[in-house]
Amino acid sequence: MSPELLERYSSALGQHLGAPCEETLSAAYELGRALMSEGHGLMDLSALHHHALGQLLARGQLDPSKVEAAQAFFSEVSSVFEMAHRGYREANESLKARNAELEQAKEAVEATSRELEAFSYSVSHDLRAPLRSIDGFSQALEEDNGPQLDDIGKGHLKRVRDAARRMTMLIDDLLRLARISRGELTKEIVDLAPIVKTVVERLRRGDPSRQVELVVPHSLMARGDPRLLGVALENLLSNAWKFTSKQPRARIEVGMLPAGHVYFVRDDGAGFDMKFVDRLFSAFQRLHTQSEFEGTGVGLATVQRIVRRHGGRIWAEGAVGRGATFYFTLGE
């Protein structure tokens, strides 16, 4: 404790003991405020008071009749600490109450989302049976009665079958999407580079005539669920592959930003209009028509779910005709 501080305290206390009044008490209060803002605690204050009393006693300025007044001075200085303490306690209690409310709200949202999930899962499931029957009977009609149908009839039947097939695809994708949110998530250290290479190899085998250069670092370490990260990369790379398919040569690059922990998948394909970037990650939203590029529009919704389950974030940049880049993080 500094001598100046001790001097300040004993001088204020001495004045109070000499002639206790509102003014000397208010000086005590100010002193308490100053002590607290300088970072002193109650223990410091008690030591300071003890020393100051000793000093006054040695100077003959303290006689037994003034003990009460000294106590009143101490109470006034320490009242600042008492009030601060009460304030902390109240703030703490209100924080606790807020936390409990937030926790409740979070549980309610999670319960609703689980219900919705279960609902969409069972609806999708139940839609399959009638759909199978539409597909099966229209196939039977085509096989058994095809020759009797005229061209218009054949055209209609083909449309029925195409629509049934597309709906089957949509439902299967929806079920797959629901499954992503349900399975267990295990986080481990994974090298994404070999996963990327395997996926692109598979895409090449499906379309060997294409000229696509793949750029990927030797290793690309991440922490996450290997299976889910595989699904995410599969979707991002299939998109890169698909949306570059109209050009003779293409380049797909996968890597991490220099600042670290932001992964990206970049292509120099068809790109998209940034005006609609918000729609990209919603299920069944597509920025290209079926005749331009085929798809159901659940790939990116799946990737977003996977990234979010990891506690990460996904976003995209693109320009029409100038390619697209998808960035994602994987949380802690």
Ligand X SMILES: Nc1ncnc2c1ncn2[C@@H]1O[C@H](COP(=O)(O)OP(=O)(O)OP(=O)(O)O)[C@@H](O)[C@H]1O
Binding stretches for Mg ion (CB under 5 A): 239, 299
Bridge partners (DSSP) of residue 215 are: 253
Nearer to ligand X, 216 or 270 (CB): 270
CB closer to ligand X, 56 vs 316: 316
CA atoms within 13 A on the CB side of 198: 9
Bridge partners of residue 263, in order along the sequence: 256, 328
Q: How far is the CB of 283 from ligand X (least distance, A)?
A: 8
Q: Which of 73, 74, 263, 272 binds ligand X (CB under 6 A)?
A: 272
In this structure, are strands 211-215 and 249-256 parallel, antiparallel, or unpaired? parallel
Within a 10 A sphere around the Cβ of 1, how many other Cβ atoms?
Answer: 11
| DSSP bridge partners of 314 | 328
- Residue 56 or 265 having the CB closest to Mg ion: 265
Which partner from the list ligand X, Mg ion, none does 192 bind, CB cut-off 5 to 8 Å by kind? none
With CB under 5 to 8 Å by kind, the binding choice for 270 among Mg ion, ligand X, none is ligand X
Name the segment binding ligand X (CB under 6 A); options: 62-70, 221-229, 256-264, 290-298. 290-298
The answer to the question of residue 35 lying near ligand X (CB under 6 A) is: no
Site string for ligand X, 249-268 (x = CB under 6 A): ------------------x-
Site for ligand X in 299-328 (CB under 6 A): 299-301, 318, 324
- As to burial, measured by CB atoms within 10 angstroms (0-12 exposed, 13-18 middle, 19+ buried), residue 80 is buried
- Residue 196 as a binder of ligand X (CB under 6 A): the answer is no
Q: Where are the beta strands (DSSP E) in 120-205?
A: 188-191
Nearer to Mg ion, 12 or 301 (CB): 301
User: Which of 192, 231, 240, 306: binder of ligand X (CB under 6 A)?
Assistant: 240
Rounded Cα distance between 168 and 176, Å, is: 12
CB 272 within 8 A of CB 287: yes
Q: Do the Cβ atoms of 49 and 37 come closer than 8 Å?
A: no
CB of residue 293 to ligand X, shortest distance in Å = 6
Single out the residue of 183, 101, 169, 87 nearest to residue 135, CA to CA: 169
Report the partner that residue 254 touches, choosing among Mg ion, ligand X, none (CB closer than 5 to 8 A by kind): none
The helix or strand, by DSSP H or E, that contains position 264, with its residue range, turns out to be strand 263-267
Q: Is 143 helix (H, G, I), strand (E, B) or coil?
A: helix
Per-position b or e across 5-41, b if 16+ CB within 10 A of its CB: bbebbbebbbbbbeebeeebbebbeebbeebbeeebe
Among 83-91, 224-232, 249-257, 270-278, the segment contacting ligand X (CB under 6 A): 270-278
* Binding of residue 225 to ligand X (CB under 6 A): no
Amino acid (1-letter code) at residue 44: D
Q: Of these, 16, 286, 305, 310, which contacts ligand X (CB under 6 A)?
A: 286
Q: Which of 13, 270, 307, 330 binds ligand X (CB under 6 A)?
A: 270
Q: What angle do CA 228, 229, 233 make, to 5 degrees?
A: 120
Residue 73 binds ligand X, judged by CB under 6 A: no
| Residue nearer to Mg ion on the CB measure, 35 or 252 | 252
Residues in the chain: 332
Q: Which of 24, 55, 78, 296 binds ligand X (CB under 6 A)?
A: 296
Interface contacts to ligand X, rule CB under 6 A? 173, 235, 239-240, 243, 267, 269-272, 280, 286-288, 295-301, 318, 324
